[in-house]
């Protein structure tokens, strides 16, 4: 694979990263640890360089998994992790917290679990409305100066917040949801990122499996699968939203590609500083996703996909109401 650069400070990675959350939570039972270590190392062998985790995934389990898997190849990869949540004495997530002392404690914990001396890309996972973003960016700046962090990132932050943070410590990348299934970032986020020289790392670039072409209106989401609680995956909403997949399928068939490959190739075609992080736990799906980097979509293909996306009004919110309130806009 070729490379892409996130941010003006210049973090160079392969065009597709790997979202690791699902190896520890949100999509059914947790797979065997050794199986996932082998899988992550297979991703490295295939050219993946950006691996995305967070302290809250598990919680804590995912960082330990990623750290162990990548320890033998640490200098060849980029590890991104996140702070920003509070936990009780039992490790249960209790809300957001980006107080400076919380950030410093989170980073020490992440460094230990990841078995590394430096975090390549440190995101604020969710904006904390009770802590000025200048204090957050200033704390990360101190960690960068101390050599514990290389790059500062933000997740699900609005334009005004990004600008304020960027004025204190340059932001290398923003991570938010973006796909043919969810195009809100195009309104304000992408223009601001381009102006400021900030890279974009879309999570859920396949719409949590929606844009793989594998779901039907009759799909049942099992225990532990977050999609069972998401409004856009409720039966009536899912049935209506599948009209988008039908339209993308037409392009996929013409290109001799899968629906997922077309969806990822569309994202890659939007900006040269976009690096999606599709998550998977299956080697065949990883290979399919990586194939999107070699799929050439013509201007006519892109126009058809844009029209398809615009013609289907997606039903249902991204998250339940409580989670929606944690998004900074």
Look up residue 68 and give its two tokens.
């162990």
Residues 6+ positions from 255 with CB-CB distance below 8 Å: 261, 262, 295, 297, 301
Establish whether 57 is a catalytic residue: yes
- Angle between helices 283-290 and 259-270 in degrees, nearest 10: 40
**Dihedral-angle region of residue 47 (phi above 0 means left; psi in -120 to 50 means alpha; beta otherwise):** left
Number of Cβ within a 10 Å radius of residue 217: 12
DSSP codes joined into one string, 211-272: GGT---TT----TTBGGGG-GGGSHHHHHHHHHHHHHHHHHHHHHT--HHHHHHHHHHHH-T
User: Degrees (nearest 5) of the Cα angle 316, 191, 119?
Assistant: 85
Phi, psi for 327 (deg, rounded to 5): -95, 130
CA distances from 210 to 221, 247, 251 (A): 12, 13, 16
Of the residues 57, 123, 178, 319, only one is catalytic, namely: 57
The DSSP H or E segment spanning 124 is strand 119-124
Catalytic (active-site) positions: 57
């Amino acid at each position: 694979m070729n490379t892409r650069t996130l941010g003006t400070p210049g973090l160079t990675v392969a065009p597709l990263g790997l979202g690791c959350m699902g190896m520890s939570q949100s999509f059914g039972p947790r797979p065997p640890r050794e199986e996932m270590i082998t899988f992550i190392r297979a991703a490295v062998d295939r050219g993946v360089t950006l691996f995305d985790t967070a302290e809250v995934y598990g919680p804590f389990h995912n960082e330990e998994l990623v750290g162990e898997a990548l320890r033998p190849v640490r200098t060849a990869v980029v590890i991104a992790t996140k702070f920003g949540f509070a936990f009780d004495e039992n490790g249960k997530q209790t809300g957001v917290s980006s107080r400076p002392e919380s950030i410093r404690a989170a980073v020490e914990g992440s460094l230990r679990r990841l078995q590394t001396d430096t975090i390549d890309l440190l995101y604020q996972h969710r904006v904390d409305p009770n802590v000025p973003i200048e204090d957050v960016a200033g704390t990360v700046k101190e960690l960068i100066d101390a050599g514990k962090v290389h790059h500062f990132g933000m997740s699900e932050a609005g334009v005004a917040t990004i600008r304020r943070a960027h004025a204190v410590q340059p932001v290398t990348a923003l991570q938010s949801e973006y796909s043919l299934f969810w195009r809100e970032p195009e309104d304000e986020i992408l223009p601001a990122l381009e102006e400021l020289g900030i890279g974009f790392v879309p999570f859920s670039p396949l719409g949590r499996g929606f844009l793989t072409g594998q779901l039907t209106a009759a799909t049942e989401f099992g225990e532990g699968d977050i999609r069972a609680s998401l409004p856009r995956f409720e039966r009536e909403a899912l049935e209506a939203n599948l009209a988008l997949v039908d339209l993308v399928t037409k392009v996929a068939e013409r290109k001799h590609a899968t629906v997922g490959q077309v969806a990822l190739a569309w994202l890659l075609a939007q900006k040269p500083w976009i690096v999606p992080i599709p998550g998977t736990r299956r080697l065949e799906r990883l290979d399919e996703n990586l194939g999107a980097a070699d799929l050439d979509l013509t201007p006519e293909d892109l126009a058809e996909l844009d029209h398809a996306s615009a013609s289907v009004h997606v039903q249902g919110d991204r998250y339940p109401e409580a989670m929606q309130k944690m998004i900074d806009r």
